[in-house]
Amino acid sequence: MKSDFRFDVGTAVMCNLGPGGWKLGRVIALRYREDHWPAGKEAPYQVALEADHALIYVPVDDARYCREATREDLRIARRMDALAELPPGPDETEVRSEPEPNGGVATIGAQLGCVDGTTQPGSAGYRDGRCHCCHCCPRSWSCVELYSEHYRCAARNELKVTRRAVDLGIVRVGDSVHHPANMDPPSGGGFMQCPTLVRLPPGVRFSDDGAFAGEVRFDPHRDAAYRVEFVAVSTADWNDAAVGIVRLEITFVVEGNEPPDGFDVDAFMREQQRARDAASRMLHDLVDVWEQWERGELGNRDTCDRMGASLRQLRELCEQHPRLDGGRWWAQLGGFHMNVHKLLENTLFECELYLGHALTFGNPDVRRMAEQNLEGCYQKRLLEAARFMWIDGLKQMMAGEWAAAAETLRLAAAKKDGWGWAVNYGDIWISEAAARLVHGAVLATRNRADNNAAQWIAEAAWLLERAEERAEESGVFGPEGHPWASEIDAAIASYSPGDSRADATEWLEALKQRTTYWCAQVLGGAPPFPPQPRPRLEDAAALVQRLPGHND
């Protein structure tokens, strides 16, 4: 008999444990009851948690309490990062065999490639839509591009990953540790691209060639005994089929992590609590401002200004206390930059920078918090790419490159089904329709019997229908619809393949002029099109330089 519940026994689920966050488990029973419960009371599911095999029950069959685990959920729970080996598990087959999402269809031009070495951090490499919205030079990949289960740039671009693991055993505070840079196969260095330096004990240093050395010192942020799982990645030989990306993992256990004479533990704990309280107040202010915006009590500009001020304060606090609460506040810092990005501030780089830094801590709860936001961040990459590809297509139209523009715009629309960052009214489809109509008419003026010409014009009409439906659903436009779409509609209605060559040429030239006009309107940010992208608030390279390095 079919169950009335959403999940069957054996389903992998994520359970909401309140302050403990979401945990991965597996349904082991339906209609669970405990002996002391009153008659008629039952829980829909009993679940065995994967991490510690604890048994819990889900009180209500509701997505707020329990949801089906995604592929990313399974991977986040079962490995340290997106470059680590995926261990065997109950869902190994379904996780491994599912095709990697590509964030769009075919790409434009060349794929991965580094010209003149690397590019500056924060460059707009993903905005051209190539390489599955990863930067086209792996040597410029950020922490999220390397480590996030939602970005998975190595897998999306089918790069080989060479894994090297070193276990140094047990060391004590005061011991010297050393591991030389002896890679097999040898690597060309580059291990300081995104090393997880925050995981190292104070006193231990890691260098770009993969060498690891120093004297382990007391760490007040950790227990008397703790495990180090340090990871560094080199993409220096990404295009060498025998090497690819090298993931180096160095593990060891530190014992004897006791406060030395003269270290005031109470004073340290009080200082951490003061920082925690200050961070909590800033978080409350951020939530309060955002809720005012949602209620319509604050405009976009005031919201961005007020949230920006609080985010700068939180960033300064994180810089002063870089290891507070295992990276939780870096994750909050990145997450709240997403809010101002929604209001069209150019802050996706900040989102990824701070969420990526949170991933380097190795704290499972912090990682899960960061990954929850990174799912949306990757989708925002697709939206940004769609918008900037749209802009590229418009520029191609203004240069008279109609067929090339149509292809660029087709790929832009494919990124997010015609949506883009602040592109909401079918504008990409309208633009592609214009490019296809003009190119089809050009072909027809050269040869009236050209079947390709009719196909291009038919595709323009089909795209226009999709765009007009999207614009109508928005409720923004009156009965006349989107002005550019209406004008193209009228142009199609007035087009006649049987016109004399002179009349057809006159019609085509008028269409080209109006299309150029509309392209200029879009590029200028005139309504009803989105405003021009705002400049960055802060220099991206400077923000990278401000991130903490080795533990002191």
Question: Do 398 and 517 fall into the same domain?
Answer: yes
Confidence of residue 503 (pLDDT cuts 50, 70, 90): confident
Whole-number Å distance between alpha carbons of 130 and 140: 14
Specify if 278 maps to a domain.
no
Statement to judge: residues 392 and 501 lie in one domain = yes
- Does residue 203 contact residue 216 with C-beta atoms inside 8 Å? yes
Sign of CA dihedral 239, 244, 247, 248: negative
- Give the domain range for residue 488: 383-523
In this predicted structure, what is the pLDDT of residue 111?
80
Task: Report the alpha-carbon distance of residue 206 to residue 232 in Å, rounded.
Answer: 9
Token pair recorded at residue 478? 């009156």
In a shared domain, residues 394 and 481: yes
Three-state secondary structure along 141-192?
Answer: CCHHHHHCCCCCHHHHCCCCEEEEEEEEEEEECCCEEEECCCCCCCCCCCCC
Q: Is 71 in the same domain as 193?
A: no
78 lies in the same domain as 174: no
Structure tokens at 276: 């925690």
Q: What is the spatial distance between Cα 209 and Cα 161, in angstroms, rounded to a whole number?
A: 18
Q: Is residue 68 domain-resident?
A: yes
pLDDT for 96 equals 43
Tokens of 293: 């915006």
pLDDT tens for each residue of 91-124: 554 444 444 444 444 444 448 888 766 555 545 5
Residue 499 pLDDT level (bands cut at 50, 70, 90): confident
| Residue 319: predicted pLDDT | 97
Is 465 part of a structural domain of the chain?
yes
Residue-level pLDDT at 103? 44
Q: Are 132 and 215 in contact (CB under 8 A)?
A: no
Residue 371, in any domain of the structure: no
Q: What 8-state DSSP symbol labels residue 64?
A: T
Number of domains in the chain: 3
Among 95, 110, 138, identify where a domain stops: 95
CA angle 156, 159, 161 (to 5 degrees): 115
Domain stops at, among 95, 119, 146: 95
In this predicted structure, what is the pLDDT of residue 116? 66
For the segment 448-458, the average pLDDT, to the nearest whole number, is 83
Please state, in angstroms and rounded to a whole number, the distance separating the CA atoms of residues 162 and 139: 16
Q: What is the pLDDT of residue 119?
A: 54
**Which of the four pLDDT bands, split at 50, 70 and 90, describes residue 256?**
very high
Burial 45-56 (b: 16+ CB within 10 A, else e): bbbebbeeeeeb
Q: What is the pLDDT of residues 296-329, one digit of tens each?
A: 999 999 999 999 999 999 999 999 999 999 999 9
Q: From 95, 128, 150, give the residue that closes a domain.
A: 95
User: 392 with 517, same domain?
Assistant: yes
Q: Identify the H or E element spanning 15.
A: strand 12-16
Q: Can you give the pLDDT at residue 504?
A: 85
Residue range 187-229, pLDDT digits in tens: 668 999 999 999 999 999 999 999 999 999 999 999 999 999 9
Q: What's 255's DSSP letter?
A: E
pLDDT attached to residue 86: 87
Q: What percent of the chain has pLDDT over 70?
A: 92
Taking the C-alpha atoms of residue 313 and residue 345, their distance in angstroms, rounded to an integer, is: 18
What is the pLDDT, as a whole number, of residue 537? 86
Q: What is the pLDDT of residues 27-71, one digit of tens each?
A: 999 999 998 999 989 999 999 998 889 999 999 999 999 999 999
- Rounded to an integer, the average pLDDT of 513-537 is 94
Distance CA 133, CA 149 (A): 14
Average pLDDT over all residues of the chain: 91
Q: What is the four-CA torsion angle of 460, 466, 470, 475, rounded to 10 degrees?
A: 80
End-to-end CA distance of the chain, in Å? 62
C-alpha distances (whole Å) from 25 to each of 56, 79, 187, 275, 374 are 9, 15, 39, 34, 22
Percent above pLDDT 90 for the chain = 79
Q: Which two tokens stand for residue 207?
A: 């260098």
**pTM of the full structure:** 0.90
Is-contact 486 492, C-beta < 8 A?
no
According to the per-residue pLDDT averaged within each range, which of 110-119, 491-500, 523-532 is highest?
Answer: 523-532
* 406 and 498, same domain (yes or no): yes
Place of tokens 């229908």: 465
Q: Do 397 and 513 have their domain in common?
A: yes
Q: Judge whether 69 lies within some domain.
A: yes
**127-167 pLDDT, tens digit each:** 999 899 999 999 999 999 999 999 999 999 999 999 999 99
Rounded Cα distance, 115 and 239, in Å: 13
Alpha-carbon gap, residue 118 to 468, rounded angstroms:
43
Mean pLDDT of 446-462: 86
Same domain, 387 and 516: yes
- What stretch of H or E contains 452? helix 451-474
Residue 517 CB: number of other CB atoms within 10 A?
Answer: 11
* Residue 2 clears pLDDT 60, i.e. is over it: no
For β-strands 176-179 and 212-215, DSSP reports them as antiparallel
- Determine the pLDDT at residue 97: 40
**What does the pLDDT read at residue 115?**
74
The two three-digit tokens of residue 388, written as one number: 């900037």
For range 401-421, the mean pLDDT: 97
Yes or no: say if 234 and 245 are a contact pair by the CB < 8 Å rule. yes
Provide long-range contacts, Cβ within 8 A and 24+ apart, for 447-454.
448/497, 448/498, 453/497, 454/497
Q: Are residues 516 and 392 in the same domain?
A: yes
Residue-level pLDDT at 124? 57
Q: What angle do helix axes 300-320 and 265-294 make, rounded to 10 degrees?
A: 170
Residue 123 lies in a domain: no
At residue 85, does pLDDT exceed 60? yes
CATH number at residue 168: 2.60.40.10
Strand partners, 171: 254
Q: Does residue 501 sit in the same domain as residue 401? A: yes
pLDDT at residue 308 in the model: 96
Are 457 and 417 contacting, i.e. CB atoms less than 8 angstroms apart?
no
Residue at 2 is within a domain? no
In a shared domain, residues 90 and 166: no
Amino acid in position 376: G
Would residue 110 count as lying in a domain? Answer: no
Q: pLDDT confidence of 497, banded at 50, 70, 90?
A: confident
